[in-house]
Amino acid sequence: METPLLQEHIEPNLFKRSLLESKKLWQIAGPAIFTSICQYSLGAITQTFVGHVGTLELAAVSIENSVVAGLAFGVMLGMGSALETLCGQAFGAGQIRMLGVYMQRSWIILLCSALVLLPIYVFSPPILILFGQTSDIADLSGKFALWMIPQLFAYALNFPIQKFLQAQRKVMVMAIVSAVVLVIHVVLSWLLIFKLGCGLVGAAISLNLSWWLIVIGQLGYIFATTSDGAWTGFSWLAFKDVFDFVKLSLASAVMLCLEFWYLMVLIVITGHLTNPLIAVDAISICMNLNGWEVMIAIGFNAAISVRVSNELGAGNPQTAKFAVMVVSITSIALGVVCMAIILITRNDFPLLFTSSSAVAKEVTKLSGLLAFTMVLNGLQPVLSGVAIGAGWQALVAYINVGCYYVVGLPLGLLLGFTFDFGVEGIWSGMIGGIVLQTIILVVVTSCTNWNKEAAQAESRVKKWGGSTGED
């Protein structure tokens, strides 16, 4: 059984400290990044295959994947992220048996949330039309959304499982399962969409099956190994303190959903522009690529969340602070590399996603904004991971509302429609919101009293652990 983290002796030399912390971060971030890329690639690869079927089909799958499923993804990931705070700090404090109970509570909450979200899938055509999508795109997107309902319930089980495993640093298990499923998904998508000519039906079958294989594979590992004592079987304790658990889950969901939906709104707004089919396809391709890079940042988000929560739970506040500094520098450097790749290949990469020269030309025009967004992606998700690890979800939710929806979104609408800059103006304004939010989070993190955060973590572990009746 893994033991609680102990106060670690760290070399006084800054370079050696940085290398040691970087090694710890990459041990978590490397497999987590790989897992995120593999799982994101499931939808992205489906879009790529469908993009060679037709422009209407590509728009329909892009809208469903980015807006309908994207909304559900944001809610489920956000609700599940409460476990990053609770499981991470409990693991750091040595309360190993509580992790399985927390995961079961999260399953209950997320499955109920999936039922609440179900009408959005069922009534997606009129909802999309209300937000300005053309009827042909909305109708086909709605049909595809109905076929993708099984994915919604896979999300509800998957995210608590992942947070459960991440808190224990068992990220390699997730990476292996995701890699195997990705290979199956590519072969199955090619077979159903191209070879058998099943089109969107084949895409839905392949995508649903792949997400459920991920859930089954991870659960198989947990049930077979008991995860070093963190899983002790199903327990009625999962139904205790559900209301308090819901409050933390909702704060996590609001915080992350406001971030995930922000750029998804860009696709919806683009549907109001002249020639929306070309514009939607172009921005969807950009968001597809942006999403891949975000998956790298999410890996660092997971890593810093685990490091901060584990160290605060173990009473090591200065180690948590140093981890934040190291991961911030690392992720920014990777963001700059991604920006350079986009700018160098801006005339070539669009052809991987579409056969339409008009769409490819529009994507090339947007490559500068895409490149700058990738730099921001290097730091912003990391700061959100710090917030999750420390339990600041409610504070960051308020910051996100102000920066994204009071500043960024109105500015984007002003530039895009009033000043007639089109999709470039909409995106530029929304980038302004991300920049403002990032600056505020940098200030908040820099001014944090980490000793106080460690004391709050100890109080949180006692509160949640003490209410279960387990020693």
| Predicted confidence (pLDDT) per residue in 448-458, tens digit | 888 887 787 77
Question: What pLDDT is attached to residue 206?
Answer: 93
Residue of higher predicted confidence among 165 and 393: 165
Closest CA to 73 of 232, 256, 255: 256
Average pLDDT over residues 202-210: 93
Instruction: Say what the pTM is.
Output: 0.75
Residue 66, pLDDT > 80, answer no
Question: What pLDDT is attached to residue 58?
Answer: 82
Average pLDDT over residues 318-346: 89
Question: What pLDDT is attached to residue 471?
Answer: 37
Average pLDDT over residues 463-469: 49
Residue 470, pLDDT > 70, answer no
Average pLDDT over residues 309-322: 84
Residue 84, pLDDT > 50, answer yes
Beta carbons of 141 and 120 less than 8 angstroms apart: no
Beta carbons of 152 and 205 less than 8 angstroms apart: no
Question: What pLDDT is attached to residue 198?
Answer: 82
The conformation of residue 52, written as its DSSP 8-state character, comes to: T
Residue 19, pLDDT > 80, answer yes
Burial class, 9, CB count within 10 angstroms (exposed 0-12 / middle 13-18 / buried 19+): exposed
Question: What pLDDT is attached to residue 119?
Answer: 93
Residue 349, pLDDT > 60, answer yes
Average pLDDT over residues 302-328: 84
Closest CA to 389 of 163, 173, 174: 163
HSE-up of residue 284 (Cα within 13 Å, Cβ side): 33
Q: How far apart are CA 408 and CA 323, in angstroms?
A: 30
| Predicted confidence (pLDDT) per residue in 379-412, tens digit | 877 887 788 777 787 888 888 889 998 999 999 9
Give me the chain's average pLDDT, please: 83
Least confident of 104-108, 157-161, 222-226, 258-262: 258-262
Residue 175, pLDDT > 90, answer yes
Residue of higher predicted confidence among 36 and 458: 36
Q: How far apart are CA 282 and CA 358, in angstroms?
A: 9
| Predicted confidence (pLDDT) per residue in 361-371, tens digit | 989 999 999 99
Residue of higher predicted confidence among 5 and 200: 200
- Residue 322 makes CB contacts below 8 A (sequence gap 6+) with 10, 17, 21
| Predicted confidence (pLDDT) per residue in 91-138, tens digit | 877 778 888 888 888 898 899 999 999 999 999 889 888 876 778 888
Residue listed under structure tokens 């992942």: 162
Average pLDDT over residues 335-358: 88
Structure tokens at 356: 């339409």
Residue 2, pLDDT > 50, answer no
Residue 180, pLDDT > 80, answer yes
Residue 357, pLDDT > 60, answer yes
Q: How far apart are CA 263 and CA 286, in angstroms?
A: 11
Q: How far apart are CA 46 and CA 34, in angstroms?
A: 18
User: What sign for the dihedral angle of Cα 309, 431, 292, 378?
Assistant: negative
Question: What pLDDT is attached to residue 137?
Answer: 83
